[in-house]
């Protein structure tokens, strides 16, 4: 996709066509989502953030005083039964005949409690709300992954253990049926990708928007860490959809935080949950005023900061600017940007600036995908379905991110370092080989460089 294609629609007072289509799909598909500003499609800046209607997330330390204040103003508030760590989700509303704004209510709460006490329940997306840098493109079923798997005689570091014994957990859209048939995907496990509808008889499977994303990401982990234990969680299944809507690769921050907590905290009994070595948290989104999302901040303070051997990596985003996206913008998350196809320049679509920790290849990668028909949608035109044979070419920071996660795993297995120590060693290397106009960079096969 050219820069002209990506920016089509700018300069005429409207959001780019790509964003109009993608945001329109989200608003049609997700039952309780709202955009800010409401007239986003008439603005060149588009949507600033997406959030759950009539819902706020409150830090537990502020919950009693916030609820007391809401009661005093006659605002109905109910504690949601979603179990969060360090925060609570509230459903809030006023009588229908009473003029009231959720934005104004949050401003009052922040005035009383301070920033960070409460916030919207923002929507995060597997590719940021504008989606990946390009839509997936079909390649032959026997295509070789790009980058090539680092194994055997092709390994740039022959002494590497290639991630053996290291556990990676990928939060994404799940794993497609048959993915393990690709040699580099053998042993990868995961929940079903519900964004791919199974075919029947001569009817091929239907690949929905974002379908196959988690599979492609798991494949990117495996090309840099071919022996790592990879499990893919389908976090996209948490959404409540409108009637007859297809699935979509997104999750509200509170649901994502709750699911994360369930994978990181022992549920009780004699079998505590084993924390992964590396977590690929492949969701991203913008928030009100660029502030830290409250549900994720609460999870960090209550759980994550106590897990000394856990490393979290997330994509920096694909808007091609310096905007802050979460959770990548947290200082406790490794934020990954994308390199162009030549591996020497920053990709035109990648977010950049001081919020990005490292860059890795992310443009026109090839890896495992779903088998079936996919209908391109971004230019707003009706297309014939495009057949895929289990492989795809794709671009985005969502795919740069698992390459870095795999490099960390490969270094851990070879050196015996913890995930955080392995990352620090790799960051030192990335900074030594930083590219002018880009920043710190890492490449496949550099786990021992």
Q: Show pLDDT as tens, one digit a residue, over the chain (449 residues).
A: 333 333 333 334 445 667 777 888 888 889 899 999 998 877 766 889 999 999 999 999 999 999 999 999 999 999 998 989 999 999 999 877 778 899 999 999 999 999 999 999 999 998 654 555 678 999 999 999 999 998 754 445 566 789 999 999 999 999 999 999 999 999 999 999 999 988 766 788 999 889 999 999 999 999 999 999 999 999 999 998 887 777 889 999 999 999 999 998 854 444 455 789 999 999 999 999 999 999 999 999 999 999 988 999 999 999 889 989 999 999 999 999 999 999 999 999 999 999 999 999 999 999 999 999 998 877 655 678 899 999 999 999 999 999 999 999 999 999 999 999 999 999 999 999 999 999 999 999 988 87
Model confidence pTM above 0.85: yes
pLDDT of residue 137: 93
Among residues 32, 35, 33, 1, the alpha carbon closest in space to that of 17 is found at 1
* Residues 180 and 186: beta-carbon distance below 8 Å: yes
- Can you name the residues that pair with 265 across neighbouring β-strands? none
Distance CA 246, CA 31 (A): 12
Structure tokens belonging to residue 265: 């905290």
Q: How many helices (H) and strands (E) does the chain have?
A: 9, 18
In angstroms, what CA-CA distances link 348 with 5, 54, 325, 379? 12, 37, 17, 19
Sorted by sequence, the CB contacts under 8 Å of residue 200 that are 6+ apart come out as none
- Can you name the residues that pair with 311 across neighbouring β-strands? 278
Structure tokens belonging to residue 188: 């990868």
Residue listed under structure tokens 């690949």? 207
pLDDT of residue 15: 53
Q: What is the pLDDT of residues 361-410, one digit of tens each?
A: 999 999 999 999 998 877 655 678 899 999 999 999 999 999 999 999 99
The DSSP code for 288 is: G
* Residues 307 and 275: beta-carbon distance below 8 Å: yes
In angstroms, what CA-CA distances link 148 with 186, 219, 255, 377? 15, 11, 35, 30
Q: What is the pLDDT of residues 132-190, one digit of tens each?
A: 567 899 999 999 999 999 875 444 556 678 999 999 999 999 999 999 999 999 999 99
pLDDT of residue 87: 97
pLDDT of residue 99: 82
């Amino acid at each position: 996709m050219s820069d002209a294609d990506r920016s089509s629609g700018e300069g005429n007072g409207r959001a780019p066509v790509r964003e109009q289509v993608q945001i329109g799909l989200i608003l049609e598909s997700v039952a309780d989502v709202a955009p800010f500003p409401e007239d986003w499609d008439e603005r060149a800046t588009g949507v600033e953030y997406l959030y759950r209607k009539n819902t706020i997330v409150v830090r537990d330390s502020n919950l009693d005083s916030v609820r007391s204040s809401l009661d005093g103003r006659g605002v109905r508030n109910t504690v949601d039964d979603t179990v969060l760590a360090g925060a609570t989700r509230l459903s809030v509303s006023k009588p229908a005949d009473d003029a009231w704004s959720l934005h104004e209510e949050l401003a009052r709460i922040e005035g009383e409690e301070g920033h960070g006490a409460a916030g919207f329940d923002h929507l995060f997306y597997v590719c940021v709300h504008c989606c990946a840098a390009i839509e997936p493109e079909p390649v032959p079923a026997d295509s070789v992954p790009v980058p090539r798997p680092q194994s055997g005689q092709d390994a740039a570091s022959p002494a590497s253990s290639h991630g053996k014994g290291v556990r990676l957990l990928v939060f994404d859209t799940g794993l497609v049926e048959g993915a393990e048939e690709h040699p580099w995907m053998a042993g990868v496990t995961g929940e079903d990708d519900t964004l791919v509808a199974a075919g029947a008889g001569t009817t091929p499977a239907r690949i929905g928007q974002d379908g196959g994303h988690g599979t492609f990401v798991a494949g990117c982990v495996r090309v840099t860490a071919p022996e790592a234990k990879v499990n893919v969680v389908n976090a996209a299944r948490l959404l409540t959809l409108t009637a007859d809507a297809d699935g979509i690769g997104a999750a509200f921050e509170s649901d994502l935080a709750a699911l994360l907590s369930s994978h990181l905290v022992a549920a009780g009994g004699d079998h505590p949950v084993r924390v992964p070595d590396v977590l690929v948290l492949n969701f991203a989104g913008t928030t009100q005023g660029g502030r830290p999302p409250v549900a994720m901040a609460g999870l960090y303070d209550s759980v994550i900061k106590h897990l000394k051997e856990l490393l979290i990596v997330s994509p920096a985003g694909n808007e091609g600017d310096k905007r802050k996206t979460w959770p990548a913008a947290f200082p406790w998350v490794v934020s990954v940007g994308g390199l162009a196809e030549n591996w020497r320049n920053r990709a035109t679509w990648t977010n950049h600036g001081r919020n990005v920790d490292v860059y890795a290849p992310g443009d026109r990668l090839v890896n495992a995908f779903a088998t079936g028909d996919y209908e391109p949608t971004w230019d707003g035109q009706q297309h014939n379905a495009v057949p895929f044979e289990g492989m795809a070419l794709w671009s985005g920071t969502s795919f740069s991110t698992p390459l870095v996660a795999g490099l960390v795993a490969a270094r851990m297995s070879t050196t015996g370092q913890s995930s955080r120590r392995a990352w620090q060693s790799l960051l030192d290397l990335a900074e030594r080989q930083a590219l002018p106009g880009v920043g710190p960079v890492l490449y496949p096969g550099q786990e021992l460089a």
